[in-house]
Chain A
Amino acid sequence: MKSTKILGAMGLAALLSGCAVHSSEAVKVLPSDMVKNARIYNITVKSVPDNVSGGFKPELESMLRLSMDDCAQGQSWLNLEVSVIELKKSNAGKAFLVGDSNVVKGQARLIDPTSGAVVGDFDIGYSVGGGGLAAALVMSQAESSMARGFAKQVCDTAFPGHPRFRRL
Chain B
Amino acid sequence: MKIIGRAILGAGIAAFCLSGCATREDVVPVPYMAHGGTQAGAGMTVALNVTDARTTDRTKISNKTNAYGMEMAAIRADRDVTIIVREALETELKSRGFAIGSGGANTSLAINRFYGTFQSHMFSGDALGDVKFHVSVISPGGATAYDREIDGSGIEPGIQLASGKNAAAALSDGMGKAFDVLFADPNFLAALKSSGAGQITSSGAGS
**How many angstroms from the CA of A99 to the CA of B17 in the assembled complex?**
14
Closest to A135 in B: B68
Query: Is the C-beta of A134 less than 8 angstroms from some C-beta in chain B?
Result: no
Q: Chain B, interface size: which category? A: 20 to 34
A21/B72 in contact, CB under 8 A:
yes
Tell yes or no: B180 within 8 A of A by CB: no
CA A5 – CA B19 in complex, angstroms? 21
A14–B56 alpha-carbon span in the complex (Å): 33
Q: Which positions 74-101 of chain B face chain A at CB distance < 8 Å?
A: 74
Which residues of chain B have C-beta atoms less than 8 A from A68's C-beta?
Answer: none
Partner of A101, one of B15, B56, B57, B70: B70
Contact call A131/B7, Cβ cutoff below 8 A: no
A105 to B11, CA, bound (A): 31
B3 smallest CB distance to A (angstroms): 7
A6 CA to B3 CA, complexed, in Å: 11
List residues 6-29 of chain B with CB under 8 A from any CB of chain A.
Answer: 6-8, 10-12, 14-15, 18-19
B57 neighbours in A (Cβ, 8 Å)? 105, 123
Q: Which residues of A contact B67 (CB under 8 A)?
A: 99
| Known contacts A99-B68, A103-B69, A103-B70; A5/B56 CB under 8 A | no
Residue of A nearest to B64 (CB): A23
Query: Which B residue sits closest to A13, measured CB to CB?
Result: B14
Choose among B7, B19, B58 the residue that contacts A17 (Cβ–Cβ < 8 A).
B19
Q: Does B55 contact A (CB under 8 A)?
A: yes
User: Is B15 touching A13 in the complex (CB atoms < 8 A)?
Assistant: yes
Report chain B residues within 8 Å CB of A131: 18, 68
A117 within 8 A of B: no
Minimum C-beta distance from B68 to chain A (A): 3
Q: A9-B10, A105-B56 are in contact. Are A19 and B19 (CB under 8 A)?
A: yes
CA of A127 to CA of B65, assembled, Å: 10
Kindly state whether residue B63 has any CB partner on chain A within 8 Å. Answer: yes
When A13-B14, A25-B60, A123-B59 are in contact, do A101 and B69 touch as well, CB less than 8 Å? yes
Q: Please name the 8 residue pairs, one residue from A and one from B, whose CB atoms are nearest each other, closest first.
A: A129-B68, A12-B11, A13-B14, A9-B10, A127-B70, A16-B15, A129-B70, A23-B71
* Chain B contact residues, CB within 8 Å of chain A: 3, 6-8, 10-12, 14-15, 18-19, 55-60, 63, 66-72, 74
Which A residues fall within an 8 A CB radius of B?
5-6, 8-14, 16-17, 19, 21, 23, 25, 27, 83, 85, 88, 99-101, 103, 105-107, 123, 125, 127-131
